Structure 1
Amino acid sequence: MPAADRTRLPKGGNSRAVHRRSLSRQLHPGAWWLWSLGLAAAATRTTNPLLLLLILAVAGYVVAARRGDAPWSRSYAAFLRLGLLVLAVRMVFAVLLGSPVGGTHVLFTLPQLPLPAWAQGVRLGGSVTLEGLLFALYEGLRLAVLLACVGAANALASPSRLLRSLPGALYEVGVAAVVAMTFAPNLVADVRRLRAARRLRGRSDRGVRAVLSVGLPVLEGALERSVALAAAMDTRGFGRTAEVPRRLARTAGALTLCGLLGVCCATYGLLTAGSHPWALPVLLAGAGAAGAGLVLGGRRSVRTRYRPDPWALPEWLTAGSGVLVAAALIRYAARWPEALDPPVVPPSLPALPLLPALAVLVGLLPAFVTPEPPRSTR
């Protein structure tokens, strides 16, 4: 048999590896964002630190299981550090400026500065209570978990693929949105590259001096790469529109605007404390109006799609798990408010409610039902 006609077959475990690579694909970025927003909405409904840490663990496990090796996939650690910074700042403000929650368990007392009469209600220094610190800890932890959920979406969903999947009515803002969406991943990639370059030159990559010397090149490089990508997308037809009747354009714009306003108002009603029976009907009506506006506005798009991302069973399961976690926590927050928002006066150890914890664990489903992301061969 001639050498050119011979086919080299994989041996042993290599055949299984080739088969796994053939089945791997990137999940639709919209599914990852719906999943992460569901976890974030669940985090807004509770201040129980055990539930918040469980949501954080679920997001971290899914990121570790389904993160690729692209530069933007390494941004999750940066969001975790940002969350820790937010938590630390919240605790410092509670110590220096006091807390709206009064308490009787005084831990220590700082020198208090006198303020003028027009600043009544604000204090600098004074007594620091255990109840005030617990309240600040719970609130800061909730905000840190929200940042972690957003970081999980940034680490799992490709920004360019998400932008390519936008409806046709939103292509006009797509060129501008790509700058904002790719800035943070490019920033993280540039930080890693410049720190590695400093270590290779024998310089320290830690300390204030290293941060100041790296900060300006990092910001400039990340912004230039984002703008270059936006310019490349503009040359390939992003944002190009066709001529449509003015009446149709105005109708599409009005439907989209009214629908988005209705969705925002209904989301606020669902996420705030208390029962709002109007929130769900307004949410459905707003989503329908926004969808109709996007469909009508999509007629202005003249750009075709090459190999659009599929929306199959893994995408439905991923998005559905996030929506299910959010719906369960919203329902349980109305039924058992003390379990999801443990009181800090008097201070007590929070308990882990069983049913909300099981609902949060549903968010682990994408780690097992989604395909493995393709790995680059080196």
Structure 2
Amino acid sequence: MTTDAHDHAPDRDSTGNGNSSGSGSGSGSGRILRKLRAPRATRTNAVHPGAWWIWALGLGTAASRTTNPLLLGLLVGVAGYVVAARRTEAPWARSYGAFVKLALAVLGIRLAFAVLLGSPIPGTHTLVTLPELPLPAWAEGIRVGGRVTAEGLVFALYDGLKLATLLICVGAANALANPARLLKSLPGALYEAGVAVVVALTFAPNLIADVQRLRAARRLRGRPDSGVRGLLQVGLPVLEGALERSVALAAAMDARGYGRTAEVAPAVHRTTAALTLGGLVGVCAGTYGLLTAEGGSYGLPVLLAGLGAALGDLWLGGRRSLRTRYRPDAWGVRAWLVAASGAAVAALLILYASHDPYAYAALHPDVVPLTAPTLPLWPAAAILLGLTPALVAPSPAPRGFGKESS
């Protein structure tokens, strides 16, 4: 773990003399605070990309447990603040804005569907009555147009806001976690699948970067960069650049021996197949047991056994992949704090929903009758734990100082 130069200097008292012995608990706590203080980000002290994904998935899990717009807005604010404080200047880190726009588009589409196709929520406050399209008898239960109520529109708003928050959390993970470094951390058995996922995740950020670069170049030349004409003239170079990157990626993967496998004993093949089947059965049976009242006694042990079999399968399957890791990413104290903060947000909201008798009404505001949502104190305090990465993760280098290595 890389720390500031001040971390290596001894504590000094008011006279300027070294005071390495400290003054009780105050000196010890001061050293701990200085050690946890966020340093300047370098190649060696960057937070593990898996920790960023665990943090973002924790926020997404919390978002899936509520439809309260105040809590969802707080989750969006937490994710946006951490991204603004710890995002680098890498091309893949600029995709957060695209995810925000996608979330807004999803929210708008959900509201448009509620207006045009109606809502299953009954309501008494009619906002507008649209002309209704008559449908045949076999389409009974479906309507186009008709009465638009405030209750149905608010229900659609809550539902769409939850999905938009999930997209923003995923966008935060894409903007903070280096996909190439995440691929290096995967087990050998998941390498081929991980390459496909990384290529898919980096396609959209690279495409957005190409569009921004070409539009800037057209503006400098005094050519139009907006409208249908500008879009058509920018689209061809973007597609050409995407094709060139695909060919270069294929050549690089072939030069690095992508897809080759090592010879393993037949017994290892059979053991791997048995562990794969046993892991799938164990995870499915254990999950079913946890979701049903009758399987509460065997659900957790079977689920843990299935997860153990799956981990054994990954370990044995990795022996077929001839891979080495150059400078593997270390999972340090800061990575643990980042991952734990996201997991704590999800765990605290789940515990609140399962133990507080009034939790459902606080997490899911009523729309019939239409009532204003309230901000529950404990869930809001739990969500604020998601700001921990903005305090402990290394701060990015100044703009133009250097680019992060992949």
**Shorter-normalised TM-score: what interval?**
0.7 to 0.9
CA contact (8 A) 2:40 2:396 kept: no
Label 1:186 to 1:21 Cα distance change in 2 as closer, same or farther (>3 A): closer
Deviation at 1:227, TM superposition (A): 5.3
- Equivalent position amino acid for 1:38 in 2: G
- Equivalent position amino acid for 1:343 in 2: D
Which residue of the partner structure matches residue 14 of structure 1?
none
Aligned counterparts of 2:317 and 2:143: Cα–Cα separation in 1: 53
Relative to structure 2, which stretch is displaced further, 359-368 or 222-231? 222-231
Which residue of the partner structure matches residue 4 of structure 1?
none
Aligned counterparts of 1:284 and 1:155: Cα–Cα separation in 2: 33
Alignment of 1:29 with 2:49, yes or no, is yes
Aligned counterparts of 1:29 and 1:261: Cα–Cα separation in 2: 30
Which residue of the partner structure matches residue 194 of structure 1?
214
Aligned counterparts of 1:216 and 1:274: Cα–Cα separation in 2: 58
Q: SS of the residue aligned with 1:75? A: helix
Q: Which runs of 5+ in 1 are unaligned?
A: 1-18
Which residue of the partner structure matches residue 72 of structure 1?
92
Aligned counterparts of 1:305 and 1:348: Cα–Cα separation in 2: 56
- Equivalent position amino acid for 1:377 in 2: F
Label 1:196 to 1:220 Cα distance change in 2 as closer, same or farther (>3 A): same
Aligned counterparts of 1:274 and 1:39: Cα–Cα separation in 2: 28
TM-score scaled to structure 2, two decimals?
0.80
1:287-314 alpha-carbon deviations (Å, 9 max, x no partner): 3222121111122222111110010111
Give the alignment of 1:39-78 within 5 angstroms: 39-78=59-98
Which residue of the partner structure matches residue 136 of structure 1?
156
Aligned counterparts of 2:205 and 2:89: Cα–Cα separation in 1: 12
Percent identity (aligned):
67
Which one of 102, 111, 116 corresponds to residue 122 of structure 2?
102
Q: SS of the residue aligned with 2:325? A: coil
The root-mean-square deviation of aligned C-alpha atoms, in Å, is 2.8
Deviation at 1:24, TM superposition (A): 6.9
Q: Work out which of the two has the higher radius of gyration on C-alpha atoms and give 1 or 2.
A: 2
Which residue of the partner structure matches residue 345 of structure 1?
368
Aligned counterparts of 2:75 and 2:171: Cα–Cα separation in 1: 13
Label 1:41 to 1:195 Cα distance change in 2 as closer, same or farther (>3 A): same
CA contact (8 A) 1:25 1:372 kept: no
Deviation at 1:256, TM superposition (A): 4.1
CA contact (8 A) 1:72 1:154 kept: yes
- Equivalent position amino acid for 1:43 in 2: A
Aligned counterparts of 1:267 and 1:153: Cα–Cα separation in 2: 27
1:53-87 alpha-carbon deviations (Å, 9 max, x no partner): 11101100110111011011110000000000000
Label 1:262 to 1:52 Cα distance change in 2 as closer, same or farther (>3 A): farther
Which residue of the partner structure matches residue 356 of structure 1?
379
Alignment of 1:158 with 2:178, yes or no, is yes
Q: SS of the residue aligned with 2:189? A: helix
Relative to structure 2, which stretch is displaced further, 197-206 or 248-257? 248-257
Q: SS of the residue aligned with 2:93? A: helix
Aligned counterparts of 1:133 and 1:276: Cα–Cα separation in 2: 39
Aligned counterparts of 1:86 and 1:265: Cα–Cα separation in 2: 35
TM-score scaled to structure 1, two decimals?
0.86
Aligned length: 359
- Equivalent position amino acid for 1:341 in 2: H
- Equivalent position amino acid for 1:180 in 2: A
Aligned counterparts of 2:116 and 2:203: Cα–Cα separation in 1: 34
Q: Which runs of 5+ in 2 are unaligned?
A: 1-38
